[in-house]
Every structure is written in structure tokens, then in C-alpha cells.
Amino acid sequence: MQRSYEVVFYQTPRGDVPVDEFLDALDKKVRAKALKWLTLLGEEGPNLPMPYADVVEGPIRELRIGFGHLELRFLYFFYRKKIVVTRGFLKKSRAIDPAEVQRALRAYANWIKRQGGIRHEEEI
């Protein structure tokens, strides 16, 4: 049975939404493709296969989108029936910048704290 997840963009304690800022900076066609893949991620959840999605570190996963010579990456985690997308960036090297992963892990910890400290592992 296929399940659908709500895709939400992480909001910092200051009210910034890094994914919105990243998407706003993209060309219209690139943004449209990214939004299409984020919708597909919501439909497929953890069933979206490699090479489109993969585990990065701990609860953090990545969505991989290619557009011409651009390599877009979105970092996210699962929380109940939600996919919380924390970061979006252009990948410029073979490995993900460790600073991006650390930002995503901090966002995860902050999200959990704001949910009352309760962690809910993905139900597959």
C-alpha cells in the first residue's frame, strides 16, 4: 500500500525558510523540476530509490536532482507522516559539504526539540 507524506520546509527559530530561499534563487525551469521531484518524494517517501534518494548520515537523507550541468541536492528527514526538507543547495564537488550535513543535523535536533523532544522513527 502506497503512502503519501506531507512535504514541509524547515523554518529556523528566526523564521527563515532556507529551502524557499534556495528555490527562489533558481531559474524558473530548474525550480519547476525541483518542485516536481519534491512532490514525487512526498508520494514515494522512503520508497524513492537510488540514485534519486539516499541516506546521508543518521536521520538525514538527500534528494538528488540533475538539470543539465547542475546538481541540486535537498537534505531532509522523516517525522511521523512528514518529510521535513531542511536544506537545498547546488552540489559542486563529489562529496556533500560536511557543513551542509551539520546544518541539516542541527535543523533536525531543533525540530525534535520544538516537537517536545519526541522522536518518531519512520514507519515503513
Residue 24 bridge partners (DSSP): none
Is there a domain that residue 123 lies in? no
Is there a domain that residue 79 lies in? yes
> What are the respective helix, strand and coil percentages of the chain, to the nearest 5?
35, 30, 35
Is there a domain that residue 122 lies in? no
What is the pTM for the complete model shown? 0.89
Provide the domain limits for residue 37.
Answer: 6-114
Q: What is the pLDDT of residue 2?
A: 55
Q: Are 35 and 23 in contact (CB under 8 A)?
A: yes
Is there a domain that residue 1 lies in? no
**Which CATH number characterizes residue 32's domain?**
3.30.2310.20
Is there a domain that residue 120 lies in? no
Task: pLDDT band for 3, please (50, 70, 90 cuts).
Answer: low
pLDDT over 80 at 123, yes or no: no
User: What is the tens place of the pLDDT at every residue in 60-111?
Assistant: 999 999 988 889 999 999 998 899 999 999 987 778 889 999 999 999 999 9
Is there a domain that residue 121 lies in? no
3-state secondary structure at position 30: helix
